[in-house]
Amino acid sequence: MLSKLEREFATYAQSFYTGEEAVDRNLRLKLAHSFRVRNEMRRLAEAESFSPEAMCEALRTALLHDLSRFEQFQRFQTFNDAESFDHGDRSAELAASGDWLEGFAPEARDAILTAIRIHNKLAVPPGLAERTDLLARAIRDADKLDIIPILLGYLEDPENESIVFGLSEKPELSALVLESIRRGECPRHRDMRTVCDFVASKFLWVNDLNFNWSREEFLRRGYLDRIMAHLPQTPVFRQLHDDARRRLTSA
Ligand SMILES: [Fe+2]
């Protein structure tokens, strides 16, 4: 049974359906992603002993974090922010309008909106209020935990191009991406040229997991090995895999 909010969320997402399968399947994907990220968030918040208020705010952050994805794909037929709009900023803007945050006190609303706005940025900015910082770090983890299986699903059945933005199938890393990886930084989407760039950059995500529970889940679910299985078995990719594993097991 869906709650009133869940029904409203699904109705909102469905209002962007076009009747064209190539578009609608991507909207369905984001709708399902939003619910799954919310479920990941519940597990994370329980495992990390969030207070009841923080749990409530975290769940709302998770459900709404990609609120603008429906509009984005309908208008631009892409999830690539560089070709459309910054979906973190736009999701926060949409979440602030309407009744999405009804019942939350102003400080809680601000914390949720800020966490949504920065969920897709390169890093969590320093100096956030404690609750905002907690939500921001939690949504980034919950989101990553669900994106990996979406990506793996694509790699196992590569019919849906929009997941990897139509990148080249060349089995190599491109120069700019290799540079960022060597610096230990997660490459930017705009520098990615190949599917390998996109897939291998997921190894760097382990540097941006904020909670022990998320790190354990990454390992427990075998994400690193499953990512590696889709990359060329060459030293550069093996090294990235091994570094990521070491990072997760030593943290
Ligand atoms: Fe997102």
pLDDT of residue 152: 86
Cα–Cα distance measured from residue 43 to residue 20, given in angstroms and rounded to the nearest whole number: 35
From the CA of 120, how far away is ligand 1's center (Å)?
6
pLDDT of residue 80: 87
- The answer to whether 196 and 170 are in contact (CB under 8 A) is yes
From the CA of 87, how far away is ligand 1's center (Å)?
7
In the chain, residues under CATH classification 1.10.3210.10 are 1-160
From the CA of 38, how far away is ligand 1's center (Å)?
12
Residues listed for the chain: 251
Name residue, tokens 């760039």. Answer: 197
Q: Extract the tokens encoding 116.
A: 């949504």
pLDDT of residue 251: 60
From the CA of 119, how far away is ligand 1's center (Å)?
6
From the CA of 232, how far away is ligand 1's center (Å)?
28
From the CA of 235, how far away is ligand 1's center (Å)?
32
From the CA of 81, how far away is ligand 1's center (Å)?
10
Instruction: Give the CA-trace dihedral at 2, 6, 8, 11, to 10 degrees.
Output: -80
pLDDT of residue 160: 58
* Kind plus residue range of the DSSP H or E element containing 27: helix 21-47
Residues in CB range of 102: below 8 A, 6 or more apart: none
pLDDT of residue 161: 60
From the CA of 226, how far away is ligand 1's center (Å)?
22
Cα–Cα distance measured from residue 170 to residue 242, given in angstroms and rounded to the nearest whole number: 22
Q: Extract the tokens encoding 184.
A: 């230990």
- What are the residues whose beta carbon lies below 5 Å from ligand 1 (ion)? 66, 120
- The answer to whether 140 and 170 are in contact (CB under 8 A) is no
Q: Which fold has domain 1-160?
A: Hypothetical protein af1432 (1.10.3210)
From the CA of 65, how far away is ligand 1's center (Å)?
6
Per-10-residue mean pLDDT, the chain, length 251: 88 96 94 97 98 97 98 93 95 96 96 98 94 98 95 76 72 92 85 91 93 96 95 94 92 60
